[in-house]
């Protein structure tokens, strides 16, 4: 027996478009802007959810009003899932504080050059407000620099490789593509007429890069040349050097900076400045109670008729994403209240992070297939295994239960190893079921419980920190090798121990002042960064001693730097006197050509 037939979505949309009473339900549709833009709050007092984050953001903004200049933490990182109000909070903050706003989002080119030209100039100089008023930093007037989605700076680099590899067309190919044949070109340029240049009989007569004949001086030809020159200059849409430019901007800015990210680990792994040199404010998903109040208030103010069941479905479907809830409300608003609105909503695919999925596996005894793991995590079962291995002991204290749960996890590890070795990725399905269902069922049978907290895998964190330390060490060895004309391998045995002693001289030593001055001169000579000095001193980049070593002194200006050999002949005043007993310069026979000597010659 068949159940009641539901109207098909196409039929529902067609009926909604043809029914005049539906349009009466939504008079706000006359405004072409999306609903999220029509109801976007303009002040922090109108924000919904995350009251602690809003209060902390206000305190950070208030620190810029001090008369002592810029605060210690000149940038703030707003982290959290999409749709929880990070960008809206930054824009509302600029409005409440009376600041100007310079915004760069994911649709802009955010490479090193673009960031330095747009955000860099605004961070180091005065700027103008949206109304054209000059904002002077000396008078306490600020410009907020908003770098939206700062953790997504490498997505367009791969996509643009194919376009960048293609050579631009020649002028002849450009004209052939535009006109098709030489007759159309002659008509467009006005060739062959009285007093006009003669026509081209073949495309081979047209130079590849333009020419100097009378035909190319015509106004139509000049317009085509200008259009062709524009095709040769492609804007760099990659994000090459973007994170480095942002890190430099955070160190040198004189204006407040707000960075919004979904995953803060992208920034903290790149540079220590994002760990200790910025304020970090987390934003969390909006609670269901707040979402319900927002949906009801927006439907009332915008005169949208939505059924109670559809409003409940919107809240349940959004999962704390306020922007998604408003988009769903905007999508079903043209339909009449009832089952058509609920049918149009359907279900949303929401990805989970490793924390949520690991807790769900350890708490619920069920089997997760590899397809479900890949869809929810956008990762492979290999990436989930360290999380299960790290957090399994937190689900039970019974040694026998831990052993029973680790056995299927060990079998899953063997299958994943075989899949990597023999490229048989069909074993992923067996490994996924073992590490999810096998582990969770063993915990349920042994009286396990949900862990109090899910921890990041320790060995992954150690590997990330070790990679950062190795990169700093390699950079110091390269700079020392260039200064001392030795290889990096030799610098490990000779230069690095000396630098460690010179930079870690404690205050108990009698020559502490001279040791500090030596470290400062070495910092200037090797052009060390704050992170590299912190590695040698064993402190943090923002320590007072590290910052003191980076400050120039009177003696650092006298540090000898390697100079390039000059090929210009020396003047009479620069000629040195010959040594005693040497023959005159004019009578000396030409000797062998001097060559650079190697260290092995000594």
Which CATH number applies to 18-40+286-345? 1.10.8
Say yes or no to pLDDT of 393 above 80.
Answer: yes
Smallest CA-to-CA distance from 460 within 385, 357, 392 is with 385
CB 559 within 8 A of CB 524: yes
> Residue 213: which region, alpha, beta or left (left: phi > 0; alpha: psi -120 to 50)?
beta
Q: What is the DSSP string of 549-601?
A: HHS--TTGGG-----PPP-SPP-GGGPPPPPTTPPPTTTPPP-PPP-PPPGGG
pLDDT band at residue 508 under the 50/70/90 scheme: very low
Length of the chain: 602
Those residues with Cβ within 8 angstroms of residue 416's Cβ, 6 or more apart along the chain or in another chain: 381, 382, 385, 427, 428, 431
Q: How far apart are CA 370 and CA 428, in angstroms?
A: 6
Q: How far apart are CA 408 and CA 405, in angstroms?
A: 6
User: What pLDDT score does 164 carry?
Assistant: 42
Say yes or no to pLDDT of 352 above 90.
Answer: no
Strand 100-104 to 75-79 pairing:
unpaired
Residue 127's DSSP bridge partners are 135
Query: Element (H or E) spanning 282, and its range?
Result: strand 279-282
In the block, tokens 């005065």 appear at 126
Here the tokens at position 113 are: 């050059």
Sign for the pseudo-dihedral over CA of 488, 490, 494, 500: positive
DSSP SS3 for 127: strand
CB 87 within 8 A of CB 148: yes
Q: Measured in whole angstroms, how far is the alpha carbon of residue 465 from the centre of its chain?
A: 19
Q: What is the DSSP string of 191-202?
A: -SSTTSPPPPSS
C-alpha angle 599/600/602, rounded to 5°? 75
Which of residues 448 and 18 earns the better pLDDT score?
448
Residue 143's DSSP bridge partners are 100
User: What pLDDT score does 412 carry?
Assistant: 93
Considering the chain, what is the average pLDDT of its residues?
75
DSSP SS3 for 260: strand
> Is-above-0.85 flag for pTM?
no
Here the tokens at position 558 are: 């006298």
Those residues with Cβ within 8 angstroms of residue 118's Cβ, 6 or more apart along the chain or in another chain: 102, 104, 108
Query: Element (H or E) spanning 489, and its range?
Result: helix 488-493
- What is the architecture of the domain spanning 50-157+239-282? 3-Layer(aba) Sandwich (3.40)
User: What pLDDT score does 89 carry?
Assistant: 92
Q: How many helices (H) and strands (E) does the chain have?
A: 31, 7
In the block, tokens 């317009």 appear at 223
Sheet with strand 279-282: strands edge to edge? 100-104, 143-147, 257-261, 75-79, 279-282
Lowest-confidence range among 4-18, 135-149, 213-227, 432-446? Answer: 4-18
Those residues with Cβ within 8 angstroms of residue 331's Cβ, 6 or more apart along the chain or in another chain: 344
Say yes or no to pLDDT of 14 above 60.
Answer: no
**pLDDT for 163-200, tens place per residue?**
344 556 788 888 888 888 888 888 888 888 888 888 88
DSSP SS3 for 134: strand
DSSP SS3 for 514: helix
Question: What ranges do the domains of the chain cover?
Answer: 18-40+286-345, 50-157+239-282, 169-232, 354-456, 460-557
**pLDDT for 510-565, tens place per residue?**
445 666 888 888 888 888 888 888 888 888 776 778 888 887 655 554 545 444 44
Same fold, 18-40+286-345 and 50-157+239-282: no
Residue 281's DSSP bridge partners are 78
DSSP state of 351: -
Q: What are phi and psi of 566, to 5 degrees?
A: -90, 135
Residue 25, number of CB atoms within 10 A of its CB: 19
CA-CA-CA-CA dihedral for 244, 245, 250, 254, to nearest 10? 160
Smallest CA-to-CA distance from 9 within 339, 340, 349 is with 340
In the block, tokens 């990210």 appear at 261
Percent of the chain predicted with pLDDT > 90: 10
**pLDDT for 96-155, tens place per residue?**
888 888 887 655 555 556 666 666 555 555 554 544 454 555 555 678 888 888 777 653
Mean of pLDDT values over 479-503 = 89
Q: How far apart are CA 332 and CA 346, in angstroms?
A: 11
């Amino acid at each position: 027996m068949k159940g009641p037939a539901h109207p098909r979505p196409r039929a529902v949309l067609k009926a909604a478009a043809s029914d005049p009473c539906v349009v009466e339900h939504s008079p706000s549709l006359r405004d072409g802007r999306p609903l999220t833009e029509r109801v976007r709050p303009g002040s922090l007092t109108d924000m919904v959810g995350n009251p602690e984050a809003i209060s902390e953001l206000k305190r950070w903004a208030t620190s810029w009003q001090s008369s002592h200049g810029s605060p210690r933490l000149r940038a703030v990182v707003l982290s959290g899932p999409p749709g929880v109000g990070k960008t809206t909070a930054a824009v509302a903050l600029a409005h409440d504080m009376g600041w100007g706003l310079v915004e760069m989002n994911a649709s802009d080119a955010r490479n090193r050059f673009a960031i330095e030209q747009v955000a860099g100039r605004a961070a180091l100089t005065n700027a103008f407000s949206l109304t054209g008023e000059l904002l002077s930093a000396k008078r306490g007037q600020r410009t907020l620099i908003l770098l939206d989605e700062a953790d997504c700076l490498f997505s367009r680099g791969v996509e643009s490789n194919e376009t960048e590899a293609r050579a631009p067309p020649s002028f002849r190919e450009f004209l052939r593509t535009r006109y098709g044949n030489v007759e159309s070109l002659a008509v467009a340029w006005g060739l062959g007429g009285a007093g006009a240049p003669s026509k081209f009989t073949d495309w081979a007569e047209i130079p590849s890069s333009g020419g100097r004949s009378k035909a190319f001086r015509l106004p139509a030809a000049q317009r085509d040349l200008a259009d062709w020159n524009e095709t040769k200059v492609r804007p760099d849409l990659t994000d090459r050097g973007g994170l480095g430019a942002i890190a430099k901007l955070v160190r040198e800015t004189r204006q407040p900076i707000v960075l919004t990210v979904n995953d803060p680990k992208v920034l903290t792994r790149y540079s220590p400045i994002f760990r200790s040199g910025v304020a970090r404010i987390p934003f969390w998903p909006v609670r269901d109670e707040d979402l319900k109040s927002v949906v009801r208030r927006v439907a009332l103010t915008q005169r949208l008729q939505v059924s109670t069941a559809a409003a409940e479905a919107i809240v349940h479907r959004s999962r704390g994403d306020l922007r998604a809830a408003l988009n769903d409300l905007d999508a079903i608003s043209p339909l009449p209240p009832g089952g058509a609105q609920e049918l149009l909503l359907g279900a949303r695919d929401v990805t989970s992070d490793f924390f949520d999925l690991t807790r769900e596996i350890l708490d619920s005894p069920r089997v997760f297939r590899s397809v479900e793991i890949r869809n929810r995590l956008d990762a492979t079962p290999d990436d989930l295994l360290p999380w299960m291995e790290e957090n399994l002991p937190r689900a039970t204290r019974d040694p026998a239960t831990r052993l029973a749960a680790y056995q299927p996890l060990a079998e899953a590890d063997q299958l994943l190893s075989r899949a990597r070795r023999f490229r048989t990725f069909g074993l992923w399905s067996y490994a996924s079921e073992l590490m999810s269902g096998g582990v969770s069922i063993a915990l349920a049978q042994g009286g396990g419980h949900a862990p109090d907290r899910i921890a990041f895998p320790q060995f992954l964190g150690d590997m990330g920190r070790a990679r950062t330390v190795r990169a700093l060490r390699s950079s110091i060895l390269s700079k020392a090798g260039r200064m001392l004309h030795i290889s990096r391998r030799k610098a490990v045995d000779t230069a690095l121990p000396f630098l460690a002693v010179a930079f870690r001289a404690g205050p108990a030593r009698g020559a502490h002042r001279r040791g500090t001055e030596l470290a400062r001169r070495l910092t200037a000579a090797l052009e060390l960064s704050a992170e590299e000095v912190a590695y040698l001193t064993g402190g943090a980049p923002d320590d007072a001693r590290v910052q003191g070593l980076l400050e120039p002194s009177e003696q650092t200006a006298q540090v000898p730097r390697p100079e390039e050999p000059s090929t210009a002949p020396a003047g009479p005043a620069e000629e040195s006197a010959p040594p005693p007993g040497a023959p005159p310069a004019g009578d000396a026979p030409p000797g062998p050509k001097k060559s650079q000597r190697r260290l092995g010659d000594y």
